[in-house]
Amino acid sequence: MEASRRTALYVCSVLFILTATNLEVSSKLIHIPSLVRHGTEGDPLLLSAEIHFSLDEAEIQGTWSHTKPSGTRITLVTFTNTTAITDMMYRNHLLFKQHNVSLLILKLNQDNEGDYHLSLNIKFHNRKGRVIKEERTIHVTVDVPVSTPLIEKSPSYPLVEDKANVTWTCSVERGTRVVFQWLRDAAVLTPSKRYHFSQDNSTLVISPVTKEDKGTYRCVASNAVTPGRNSSGVELNVYYGPYNLEVNSGQGLRTGEVFTINPGELVFFECRADSNPPNSYVWIKSHNKTEVISEGPRLEVQLYRLAQAEEYLCRAFNNVTQKQDETQFTLVVASLGTGKEKHTQNEGSMSPLAAIIVCSLFIIGCMLLVFLRRTCHPKRVIMSIYNKPFSEQKRPHRSGHEDATEDFGIYEFVSVAGKMESTQASCRSLARLELGQDMHTTIYDVIRHVPESPSQSLLT
């Protein structure tokens, strides 16, 4: 009731002022740069006000008062344009700036928190009798800066995945209204199924820990007057695995779980799994599960008998998590050909005989190809009959028939059963057209119907 009546009154007075003078809007007479101030304990704090009129042309009267969070209200300073009376209790604690009605608190303490209220009556000399009232409130908080936070981990020893919980605690020696944040490797941690934060975020419980929780943890403490201080980083080590066990080899040919190797070739196999601490590895021949043939991540195998097949197994064991994993694979001995032999045995040097054979075959192939192309190209055959110089230049394809003077002749469409190369097919069929029982050929004769012009005459 009281509030609404005051609002109504205020609205009425504003309306009155607005209608009485359209020269000035009351809010422009006084300006407070910041209505919320975060002060640091022990520091001074200036509650600034700017007055946008000349004190010479007006008479002023006002107060600064303080409302504590508890609700008690005290008038600190009462002033006019010439005098200021500061409450005797606060005389050594406050300084009033007459020329711009700002208030300086010399040394902030927790008791200075609350709302500071400036109330100002202004009466301009040139406007008879009218008093303008201005009121502003500044909210002030006082905080103690945050000291460097300390991070603690419990328990301090490394933990086994899925079997243990870890509790992180962040504490500060000094600081009020401290806000805590947790980082793992610079990523901010948020509540989740396994991450539980205390009410004020000062503790973080990870329950249970997993492989993903490994990393460097840090807490950041901040408040209104401290931007954020990092604790030192503390490592969380988690024992886990083995995961993603696999066997690999740089040699041999792999198809799924089967490795094919050359007879007599020395082949290395590597077994690897993700694990903390590192696994111990054993290699076992599958037909006798108790017989360990080798220990450690590497296995050396040399088999001689062709078509021999052996089953092997790599077993990884983490002696802290007490978990193990194993993977089986088959080794088959077969001749993989020169490619692999070249790689493993005589690097880069082919036998001279093989080289000669390959080269001769290549040359013969090329010659055959060239010969067949020359003799069997249907267009070429027809062209040679007409004794016309054949242009090898490729003309850009055109859509119309305007420049098709060179395209007439006999065209042949051949369809052949089986997978035969097209050049082969056309050559063959042209060479022995009469023998083409398996082939379906159609011969198209493209006849020139272009009116002859002297320059383009071909048949003369």
Ligand X SMILES: *[C@@H]1O[C@H](CO)[C@@H](O)[C@H](O)[C@H]1NC(C)=O
Which chain residues interact with ligand X by CB under 6 A? 48, 50, 55-56, 59, 81-82, 97, 100, 102, 164-165, 179, 181, 183, 186, 190, 197, 200-201, 207-208, 218, 230, 278, 280, 288, 290-291, 319
| Nearest approach, Cβ of residue 53 and ligand X (Å) | 11
Two structure tokens written together for 263: 């007879």
Please say which residue, 50 or 452, places its beta carbon nearer to ligand X: 50
**Closest approach of Cβ 59 to ligand X, in Å?**
4
- Provide, rounded to whole angstroms, the least separation between the CB of residue 320 and ligand X: 6
215/278 with CB nearer ligand X: 278
- Between CA 353 and CA 338 the distance in angstroms is 14
CB nearer ligand X, residue 164 or residue 376: 164
Based on CB atoms, which residue is closest to ligand X, 235 or 445?
235
CA 201 to chain centre: 27
Does residue 167 contact residue 182 with C-beta atoms inside 8 Å? no
CB of 48 to ligand X, least distance (A): 4
To the nearest whole angstrom, how small is the minimum distance from the Cβ of residue 97 to ligand X?
4
Nearest residue to 148 (alpha-carbon basis) of 36, 213, 229, 29: 229
Please identify, using beta-carbon distances, which residue of 2 and 291 lies nearer to ligand X. 291
Q: How far apart are CA 122 and CA 130, in angstroms?
A: 8
Report the nearest approach of ligand X to the CB of residue 205 (Å).
Answer: 7
**Residue (99 or 374) nearer to ligand X, CB:** 99
Q: What's the CA gap between 423 and 369, in Å, rounded?
A: 9
The total of other beta-carbon atoms located within 10 Å of residue 333's CB is 21
Minimum CB separation of residue 100 from ligand X in Å reads 4
Work out the number of other CB atoms within 10 angstroms of the CB of residue 286.
14
Closer Cβ to ligand X, 21 or 61, answer by number:
61
CB of 115 to ligand X, least distance (A): 19
- What is the bridge-based pairing of β-strands 58-67 and 50-51? unpaired
Closest distance of CB 287 from ligand X, Å: 7
What does the alpha-carbon distance between residue 37 and residue 114 come to, in Å, rounded to a whole number?
Answer: 10
Nearer to ligand X, 219 or 261 (CB): 219
Nearer to ligand X, 103 or 414 (CB): 103
Judged by CB, which is closer to ligand X: 56, or 392?
Answer: 56
In the complex, the smallest distance separating the C-beta of residue 207 from ligand X, rounded to whole angstroms, is 4
Q: Would you say 157 or 457 has its CB closer to ligand X?
A: 157
The least distance separating ligand X from the CB of residue 183, rounded to whole angstroms, comes to 6
On the CB side of 23, CA atoms within 13 Å amount to 4
Rg (CA), the chain: 48
Compute the least distance from the CB of residue 221 to ligand X, in Å: 11
Closer Cβ to ligand X, 202 or 251, answer by number: 202
